[in-house]
Amino acid sequence: MQDFRCYRQVDLNLVAGVNIFVGPNASGKTSLLEAILVLATTTSPRTARDRQLVRREASWGMVSGQFVDAEGGSVSISVILQGSPASADSDAPQLPSVLTTPKRIEVNGTVCASVREVVGQAPAVLFSPDDLQLVKGAPAVRRRFLNTAIAQLIPRYLDDLVRYRQALRQRNELLRQMQAGQATGQDLAPWTTQLVQAGARISADREQFVTAWASAPVTSTASLATGLSD
């Protein structure tokens, strides 16, 4: 990756199995995990503002990775991010002409029109100390975690989430209109159907995921990945 968070340029070879990054506070450990999540999900688990991912003095940054699965199949993903113009050096390199949108995503060298083409290619989840909220926090935190994980495994899941939220919003709006005598129960029915159908699928997907996850073996081998450089 290049000009990502505190990294000017870093090439990393991860090994199969467990990789451990050791370093003092604020040395960039979480940023490495964040980079992997950006490739897997196109967004950072730490910030919704992509500009924050680009190294402060840089006008753009990039993360690229090649993921190899157990069968030897591989996929290459690149995410090019735009930095904040305000913070960019006056003598910083010009934005590459390819960068016409704030974020450019490529899978196997082909530009992606939609995040759907990326999500699921290299499934990843992040669990960090901050994620203790997963256990201690509100149910919404757990649902968000499940949504991110499952959307990568079941492409339809994302569609169902969108459908569910849409139906919920429309249905609530109709309920308000019904109260004012501007809508009837008949108007409500299609949204109820959509809500129930999408909701049932989401619920079943979550149950399946949690069941499979709870019975997954915990990997106990550890190996150290070195080669970190700034």
Residue ranges in contact with ligand ADP by CB under 6 A: 5-6, 23, 25-31, 52, 54-56
Q: Give 181's contacts (C-beta < 8 A, 6+ positions apart).
A: none
Closer residue to ligand ADP, CB minimum distance, 71 or 91:
91
- Quick check: 147 binds Mg ion (CB under 5 A)? no
Q: Closest by alpha carbon to 34, among 51, 15, 13, 53? A: 53
Q: Helix or strand or coil: residue 10? A: coil
Decide if 119 contacts 152 (C-beta within 8 A): yes
Binding status of residue 170 toward Mg ion by CB under 5 A = no
Shortest CB 95 distance to ligand ADP, Å: 17
Name the binder of 45 from ligand ADP, Mg ion, none, CB < 5-8 A by kind: none
CA distance 63 to 76: 11
Given candidates 12, 14, 21, 30, which one binds Mg ion under the rule CB under 5 A?
30
Task: For residue 21, state whether it binds Mg ion (rule: CB under 5 A).
Answer: no
Judged by CB, which is closer to ligand ADP: 23, or 155?
Answer: 23
Query: With binding defined as CB under 5 A, does residue 33 bind Mg ion?
Result: no
- Convert 190-216 to b/e letters by CB count within 10 Å (16 or more is b): ebeebbeebeebbeebbeebeeeeeee
Say which entry of Mg ion, ligand ADP, none residue 221 contacts (CB below 5 to 8 A, set by partner kind): none
3-class state of residue 177 by DSSP: helix
| From 25-33, 60-68, 132-140, 189-197, span contacting Mg ion (CB under 5 A) | 25-33
Element (H, E) at 65: strand 60-68
Of the listed pieces 26-34, 83-91, 132-140, 192-200, which binds Mg ion according to CB under 5 A? 26-34
Interacting residues with Mg ion (CB under 5 A): 29-30
